């Protein structure tokens, strides 16, 4: 169990966090819990940007590829001319590829978030302690580094 500081006021919380950063306490030892996103925390404790965007890009790209591949390959698997249009009619296939880009992109971003945020968390479903609207800083002891 580390040393815990709880603040009702956001500014006091940020001041304490700045002090810890100034004292050179390792980021790995500092655990922060807030009632909402406080962007200053990332400025005080600089860290690598979130990687959710990689999942977004990967999902969206795979959606585009799947959309085109699926429509083209299924059309070619039984080449049937409908309404005098070419077997591989790209304009309508763009619509399918567009829909799948959004669908795969959104789902992949969501699942990427779950992985990166380490959710769902079994211990968090009914947590032992809840801090409500308090801003909490927990400094873990040095030996856990």
Site of interaction with other proteins (CB under 8 A): 8-10, 31-38, 41-42, 45, 47, 49-50, 52-53, 56, 60, 70-71, 74-75, 77-78, 80, 82-83, 85, 89, 92-93, 95-96, 98-100, 102-103, 105-107, 109-110, 112-114, 116-127, 130-133
| Cα separation, 44 vs 102, whole angstroms | 35
Bridge partners of 139, per DSSP, are 3, 30
Residues 6 or more apart in contact with residue 3 via CB below 8 angstroms: 138, 139, 141
Please identify, using beta-carbon distances, which residue of 110 and 142 lies nearer to other proteins: 110
Min. distance of Cβ 144 from other proteins in angstroms? 16
Please identify, using beta-carbon distances, which residue of 24 and 91 lies nearer to other proteins: 91
| Cα separation, 126 vs 19, whole angstroms | 32
Which DSSP string corresponds to 11-31?
HHHHHHHHHHHHHT--GGGEE
Min. distance of Cβ 11 from other proteins in angstroms? 9
Min. distance of Cβ 70 from other proteins in angstroms? 7
Min. distance of Cβ 44 from other proteins in angstroms? 11
Cβ atoms of 96 and 70 within 8 Å: the answer is yes
Please identify, using beta-carbon distances, which residue of 1 and 126 lies nearer to other proteins: 126
- In the block, tokens 């004292």 appear at 23
């Amino acid at each position: 169990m580390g040393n815990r500081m709880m603040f009702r006021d956001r500014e006091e919380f940020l001041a304490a966090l700045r002090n810890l950063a100034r004292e050179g306490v390792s980021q790995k030892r500092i655990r922060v819990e807030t009632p909402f996103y406080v962007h200053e925390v990332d400025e005080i404790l600089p860290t690598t940007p979130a990687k959710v965007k990689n999942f977004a890009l990967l999902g969206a790209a795979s959606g585009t590829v799947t959309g085109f591949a699926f429509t083209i390959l299924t059309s070619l698997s039984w080449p049937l001319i409908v309404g005098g249009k070419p077997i591989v009619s790209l304009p309508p296939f763009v619509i399918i590829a567009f829909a799948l880009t959004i669908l795969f992109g959104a789902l992949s971003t969501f699942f990427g978030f779950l992985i990166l945020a380490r959710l769902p968390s079994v211990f968090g479903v009914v947590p032992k302690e809840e801090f409500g609207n308090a801003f909490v800083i927990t400094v873990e002891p040095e030996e856990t580094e």
